[in-house]
Amino acid sequence: MTDYFSILPHLNATLNASSFVLLSSGYYFIRRKNVPAHRNCQLAALTASVLFLISYIVYHAHHGVTKFAGQGIVRPVYFTILFTHTFLAVVIVPFVIVTVRRAKRKDFLSGGRSEKTFSVTRQSRAGRCPCGYTFPSRA
């Protein structure tokens, strides 16, 4: 009987590499003002990332915990990278959701810089609009 779970790490690597290529291609296309190709690459990258997450969770649910056997200076370096990687993977999720929702509504900022997503979100929570309008208080 074939162990289907043993191919999941290879699938995960393929999905991650595909996501990188698609995100890079999307950046290339938007720099050249090819919006349909950019949108298609971004949606395909999002799909690859979601499939990666599902595959990753399925694999680790069946495989269990792997103990890191490294010793010396490699150990703290490994755990530092692991912690920051895990932390950033969780932190980016709300930014992705906000960005996808805004793109779906065609709510684009002039300039198209992704770092403005956080600024707009923060300002709208404070009752301000990027155009300068202040919303009436809800109290």
Global model pTM greater than 0.95: no
Q: What digits encode the pLDDT tens for the residues 6-38?
A: 899 999 999 999 999 999 999 999 999 999 999
Report yes or no: 19 and 45 within 8 Å, Cβ to Cβ.
yes
- In the numeric block, the tokens 């291609």 are attached to 25
Q: What digits encode the pLDDT tens for the residues 40-96?
A: 999 999 999 999 999 999 998 888 788 888 899 999 999 999 999 999 999 999 999
**Rounded to whole angstroms, how far apart are CA atoms 120 and 122?**
5
Q: Quick check: is 70 in a domain?
A: no
Q: Quick check: is 136 in a domain?
A: no
Residue 56, phi then psi, degrees to nearest 5: -60, -45
Q: Quick check: is 127 in a domain?
A: no
Query: 90, 92, 93, 67: which is closest to 78 by C-alpha?
Result: 67
> Has residue 138 got a pLDDT over 50?
no
Q: Which amino acid is at 2?
A: T
Q: Quick check: is 41 in a domain?
A: yes
- Give the range of the structural domain holding residue 8, as residue numbers without chain letter: 1-65
Task: Please tell me the total count of domains within the chain.
Answer: 1
